[in-house]
Each structure stands twice: as C-alpha cells, then as structure tokens.
Amino acid sequence: MTSVDYESVMRQAIAVGARHRTHPNPQVGAILVTSDGTVLAEHAHSGPGEPHAERALLDAFGPVDPSSSLVVTLEPCTHTGRTPPCVEAIVAAGVSRVVLGAIDPDPRVSGGGVTALRAAGIEVVTGVAADEVEQSDPAYFHHRRTGMPLLTLKTAATLDGQIAAADGTSQWITGEAAREDAHRLRSEHDAVIVGAGTVRSDDPLLSVRLADYSGPQPVPVIVAGSRPLPADLRIWARDPVVLVSQESSLTGVDIVRCGSGGVVDLREGMTALAERGLLSILVEGGSRLAASLWSLGLVDRGVQYVGANLAGGTGTGVFDQLWGTLQDMTPISITGVTLLEGDLRIDWRKA
C-alpha cells in the first residue's frame, strides 16, 4: 500500500499547471512521485501546440519505476490533435498507477482516457481534488460543456449602486487598492470587452498596468454600434477584436460580423471569441452592454468593487434596463468578500 497523500500532491500539480496561460487548451500539471511521496519530476502544459504535461514529463524523465505514480490534474487525452495522445506515452513509459483530478469534459476525451488506461492494465484513481482542479481553470470546463466563453461582469459602484454620475463621470469611484486589484483581475482573463460608448467616453487601453506584471495582456474586444468609432482611440494600438453588425471600413483589426441592422448579435459574438481561444472574458462596460449580456443569460459570475462612498442620487446603475418586478431578481451566490483599504470587492456567481 502507498502512503502518498495524493490530495496534497494534486494541489502541487494544480499550482504547476497554473503557471501558464493555455487557452483554448486546459491548464494541466503532472507530477511523478515515488511510493513514499518523493517528487521525482513535474511538468505543465505550456500552451497550444506544445507537448501536454504528461508526455513532456515522461519524455524528459525516461523509464518509470512501476512503484511510482503519475499524478495528473486532468484526464489524459486519447485523440491526436497538434500532439499525439498522452495515453500512448503513459503506457509506453511503463506507468502502473495514474492518479487523476478531474475527468476532461471535452467530448473527444471524456471518460475515454480512463477506459484506455485501465484497458492497458494501469491502475487509475479518479476524482482527487477534482473541484479544486476545475476551480483553477473554470473557463476551460465551462467552454467544453457549453461551447461558450465564461463571462465575468466587473463593476465599480458606490454603496448605493451607481457606476457613474449623470454627467458620465466615474473616475474614480474606488480607491487605488481596488483599482490595482482590478488590474490583477484583468491579468486572469483572456479578453476584456467593452461597448462603443465606453470606448468613446473613456478611451481605455484595457491593458494590465502593474509594476510587477510581465505576463500576457488580455485581448481588447469592442462591441461597436452603428456609428463609426473615432480613428484616434488608444485602443487601436492594441489590435482589438471588434464585433460589428454591418460592413465596416476598419482596417488592421480583427473584425467579427455578427448581427444586423446596427445590432450586434452578442451570443454569436461570444461564440466567435471562443473560437479564437478567448475562453475567459471580463466584461468592463458599460451599463448597456452589461444589460444586454445579462438579459441573454451570458453573464456567469461577477466581481463588484464597492467604493466607500454614497452617490446620494441617481446617475447610472450597473444595468441600463428597467427592473419591473421583484420576481425578476436572479439568485446569486456570494463567493468572497475582501476589504481593500476601505473599499470592498464582492465575488459572486449565479446560484
């Protein structure tokens, strides 16, 4: 009998996998351990087209002692994509025990990896810290189950729910600590999306601007209306994706045509973003875009920054639409509350 604390090793593997931005592929970490829990090797999948974590680890390590275990956050694949199947590499390396976190929701894999490993005589342990594996890369699991990207609505509002004053001013409702945290939130997403109104009024860059940040920048996405966008916007320097509903004269950017008559089909647009490998999308503005995405049921979770102040009146709320009756409320689960030098960060998801 092994004395390995597999949950602890799995958490290490999760941390290894989380070092890389891999979408549209999953984050995967793999660790090879002896029967007494000594780590022999570790590896992560580093991105599309690169070797999967299991194959990279085994290719580097060589023949495996049968008493060792391969701990992997996600079920090994059985199909050939840009790289060969991981199951073949595991069998060829002489692995006798594989400990898995989550079953891969991708229909090309789901359950097939476990079946193939067991058919080859390999012991397979499943479901070790599976929830934590999914929580480490929720957008991948959401996309493989629904075909849609995971949308997070980010707002900054006064305590009485206003995101901007009647004259459109909104900088700054929250303090420096909350704004810095919002940049870290951006760094966790593949893309940041705003509406044309926000682009015109704020001229945002939608980039991560932190002194210690050197990771990948989120892709800026603009939902364009029927009016032409100004040619001198700072965002053009960042090669945005622009969702339009009609022919566009824009050049040098990625144009996605979805919808008609001046109205962008947001569901079709989100599908197009997912096809570009943008699986985690941060929705930053404005209230009209938030209302449209919410009405379509496309918002999955949110982060609301609550400034330590009161508007004392009506300016602009989070959603630019009428709340007609109490029965129209949507239950949510508040998953975290953080104090940021006087302001609050409230994390939530749909219940």
The Cα 207–Cα 200 span in angstroms is 17
Query: Identity (one letter) of the amino acid at 146?
Result: T
Among residues 42, 50, 54, 341, the one annotated as catalytic is 54
Picking from 265, 268, 243, 266, the residue whose alpha carbon sits closest to that of residue 256 is 243
Backbone angles phi, psi at 139, to 5 degrees: -65, -40
CA angle 25, 29, 32 (to 5 degrees): 145
Active site (annotated) includes residue 54: yes
3-state SS of 211-247? CCCCCCCCEEEEECCCCCCCCCCHHHHHCCEEEECCC
Picking from 325, 273, 334, 320, the residue whose alpha carbon sits closest to that of residue 163 is 320
Identify the burial level of 10 via C-beta atoms within 10 angstroms of its C-beta, where 0-12 means exposed, 13-18 middle and 19 or more buried. Answer: buried
3-state SS of 270-335? HHHHHHCCCCEEEEEECHHHHHHHHHCCCCCEEEEEECCCCCCCCCECCCCCCCCCHHHCCCEEEE
Q: Would you call 254 helix, strand, or coil by DSSP?
A: strand
Identify the burial level of 35 via C-beta atoms within 10 angstroms of its C-beta, where 0-12 means exposed, 13-18 middle and 19 or more buried. Answer: middle
Token pair, residue 53, equals 């974590």
Which residues pair with residue 70 across a beta bridge?
A: 32, 98
- Residues annotated as catalytic (active site), given as ranges: 54
